Amino acid sequence: MFRRHAQNPILTAAQWPYPVNSVFNAGATLLQDGTTLLLCRVEDRRGLSHLCAARSANGIDGWQIDARPTMTPDPDRHPEELWGIEDPRITFVPELQKYAIVYTAFTRDGPGVAMALTTDFRTFDRLGVIMAPEDKDAALLPHRIDGNWALIHRPVSAPRAHMWISYSPDLKNWGGHAMMLQARKGAWWDANKIGLSPPPIETPRGWLVIYHGVKQSCAGCVYRLGLALFDLKRPEQLLQRGAEWVFGPGEVYEQRGDVGNVVFPCGYTLGADGDTVNIYYGAADTCLALATGSVREMLAWLDVQSE
């Protein structure tokens, strides 16, 4: 379903212009001039994360990495960012002519969801916490639905964690909370804990969602990816869900690192053909890799694989 790029990993800590521990879980977008921008989660050598932009003409190599951190935690004005900012998901919002960056703010009480708006990935308007801890794995849909903005997120109701969707008239006040997708139970690859991976892909058949599932065993966790399709007008309505996972750790750079056996995409770009999906994923919480898929193939697979 997804073909790994031969040049993987495409970005590592060794390429960074300043000393860092790891580079992973990047949000992605295509800028107006066709440049691929990755907003990378960078973990420093204290263990705290900030975001750093890397730009490339072909989305594969020749990355121009910002010389200094692009967006740093600002705990004086935003106490929720005390222990760093992580895992950004980027959505271009035509109505605002801005990019919405939805990210994890590592608060004293655990991870919460925060949002910032930008036009240039150089300055950022922070909206602060939009979902209280413990919550993460969130992304904004690109346009309003019935007059309201929609946010997919993943609150934790221990011991399980499911995907939810919430609505807002103004990007600040959120309500209309609805369960979107439940973690399965028992031995399944996506038992107990799931979450949105990149922002959903809008297709004529529905919102195509690539989500991660976490299988826990006495050997640790394995993060894999699955597919589900949701109604365009009522995105909490599940249309199809694949039974099997479609991508999981297989290469050494995915199996070994700070957190082994993790593939974790936070962003994708769409090719000029409108079908090719370039998925940028953190591998083993250590480096960034690229895999390519096809919207048509994913939808066809759901037709065959859905339960």
Number of Cβ atoms within 10 Å of the Cβ of 52: 24
Tally of CA atoms within 13 A in the half-sphere of 39 that contains its CB: 31
In the complex, minimum distance from the CB of residue 254 to ligand BMA, in angstroms, rounded to a whole number: 11
Q: Give the interface with ligand BMA as residue ranges (CB under 6 A).
A: 25, 86-87, 223, 259, 262, 264, 282, 285
Residue 267: name the closest of 121, 135, 155 by CA: 121
Q: Are 103 and 72 in contact (CB under 8 A)?
A: no
Q: Are strands 175-181 and 163-168 parallel, antiparallel or unpaired?
A: antiparallel
C-beta closer to ligand BMA: residue 223 or 247: 223
Residue nearest ligand BMA, Cβ-based: 259
In the complex, minimum distance from the CB of residue 215 to ligand BMA, in angstroms, rounded to a whole number: 12
C-beta closer to ligand BMA: residue 262 or 287: 262
In the complex, minimum distance from the CB of residue 291 to ligand BMA, in angstroms, rounded to a whole number: 16
Q: Tokens for 230, please give them.
A: 């949701």
Q: Are 97 and 121 in contact (CB under 8 A)?
A: no
109 vs 80: CA distance, rounded Å: 9
C-beta closer to ligand BMA: residue 229 or 284: 284
In the complex, minimum distance from the CB of residue 279 to ligand BMA, in angstroms, rounded to a whole number: 15
In the complex, minimum distance from the CB of residue 275 to ligand BMA, in angstroms, rounded to a whole number: 28
In the complex, minimum distance from the CB of residue 73 to ligand BMA, in angstroms, rounded to a whole number: 15
C-beta closer to ligand BMA: residue 87 or 254: 87
C-beta closer to ligand BMA: residue 111 or 242: 111
Phi, psi (degrees; rounded to nearest 5) at 40: -85, 140
C-beta closer to ligand BMA: residue 85 or 238: 85
Q: Are 150 and 233 in contact (CB under 8 A)?
A: no
Q: Are 93 and 119 in contact (CB under 8 A)?
A: no
41 vs 36: CA distance, rounded Å: 16
